[in-house]
Amino acid sequence: MSPNPLVSALSGRPRVLLAVALGLTVLTLGQCRHAVQNPPAAAPMATASAPTPPPIAPPTPVAPAPAAPTPALDPIAASNLVSDIAERAVQSVVNISTTRIVRQRSAAIDEPAFRGFFGDPEERSRRENSLGSGVIVGDDGIVVTNNHVIEQASEIQVKLADGRIFEAKLAGADPRSDIAVLRLQGKVEGLQTLALADSDRLRLGETVLAIGSPFGLAQTVTQGIVSAKGRADMRIVDYEDFIQTDAAINPGNSGGALVNLRGELVGINTAILSRTGGNQGIGFSIPTNMVRPIMSALIKNGRVSRGWLGVGIQDLDTELQQAFGSAKGVLVSEVQPGSPADKSGLMRGDIVTKVDTTTVDTSGRLRNLVASHEAGTHIKVEFVRAGKALTVPVVLGQQPGTQAAQRGTEEAGAAIAGLQVAPLSPQLRRGLRLPPQLQGLVVVDVTEDCPADKAGLRRGDLLLEVNHHPVVSVDELARAAQGGRVLLFVLRNGHSRYALLQP
């Protein structure tokens, strides 16, 4: 997946952050008063002999007194409200510092033709440090942050607002949503946690606070509004449903908190849209309703199992709405043979309108809904076919990439311990945006501290060669990796490099 050139991640590495700016709207209700006029006094009775008096002129109307203005909301009281919330929330936001070891060797010198002149290339290593933020969500020491904050870290240290410092272990990470969960080590007590709100209740224009550690400046608070909801297709990560905000965010804010004025966590700050690498008022936060199930899965299993429907989908534009006679829903453009969708009877041209009780009107929302369920989950899919509303039950399958990764681990065995790979399927090729001429094996997971991890391999790397032999299957990998050291030729983000795995 090619990263959006305008989007930067928010950690302290050469990535950037997110943004929000807050305003209070004071609504004054006017009051009105109504003056009541006294009726004129009755004229005295005239006697028969008295002359007829001239007509009495009506009294001059009394103008109503001007209404007293209703006192406006005290700006000091409004400021105190924000301050109270900010001072409580910062106690739950932590500073995360990480260290990772980067090992490099010269690819040119490592070629056999050069070894006779230079001998075996010397491996060089260096330590890289980075800063980020996190949020305490469990009084047992559970901290939520971004995956890119702790990615490939060999050491993770967490500093609390009260100055205490803890070592942290990774409970689990999900690069496809950029969410990671840490567990503080040692004696943890007296932690201030943030409650997770129902982020679906956020409203446009609602005031929010962004809290984090930009440039290492811990417990920094900025305020802004919710600029938009449900931002997807930003090409930041695979699964996106971002809250857009204009709070000022800078490097180091990644993994920090987005808080509403009830003092609840509504999002994890993740990225900004910027042409300069700095804050330009467009930032993105992962909503808590997406964070919650992923966090639970990572704590329980250390990984996320996502359901699979097996359809190609697209949004309905105006022309497609007219062609299919439907204004709402998501168009099914492809049904993979043998997939859960195929088994349930879904067909190309169907328009999906609901999953269980949740309405879907964009392809991104449908994709996120399906992925929020584990494989084996029973769901109901409502759709329209030829103008008729239908409902079918579906048992979600396991995503093919996950199955391939498990098979690859079993078949590769001890060939490359700790390295999980998958054949380059059409789905993976599309997801990684690889051209059709490239062939190889996709790295889907790397065990911490294994030889592949020490050599710097990452999820999403494409293995092109192993010991100078092209590999397109797990069997070829196992045969080519026999022996002692293993030389890998790897493609990452359009750039190729060599990596040497020591036994």
* Residues classed as catalytic: 148, 178, 254
**φ, ψ of residue 85 in degrees (nearest 5):** -65, -45
95-127 in b/e burial notation, b at 16+ Cβ within 10 A?
bbbbebeeeebeeebbeeeeeeeeeebeeeeee
Residues 194 and 85: their CA atoms lie apart, in Å, by 11
Helix boundaries (H) for 146-253: 147-150
The answer to whether 370 and 309 have CB atoms below 8 angstroms apart is: yes
227-239 in b/e burial notation, b at 16+ Cβ within 10 A?
bebbbbebebbeb
Residues 102 and 125: their CA atoms lie apart, in Å, by 5
Per-residue tokens: 97: 């510092």
290-301 in b/e burial notation, b at 16+ Cβ within 10 A?
bbbebbebbbee
* Number of C-beta neighbours around residue 336 at 10 A: 16
Closest CA to 380 of 354, 348, 342: 354
Residues 101, 178, 429: CA angle, nearest 5 degrees: 90
The answer to whether 202 and 242 have CB atoms below 8 angstroms apart is: no
The answer to whether 199 and 231 have CB atoms below 8 angstroms apart is: no
Strand runs labelled E in 16-153: 93-104, 124-138, 142-145
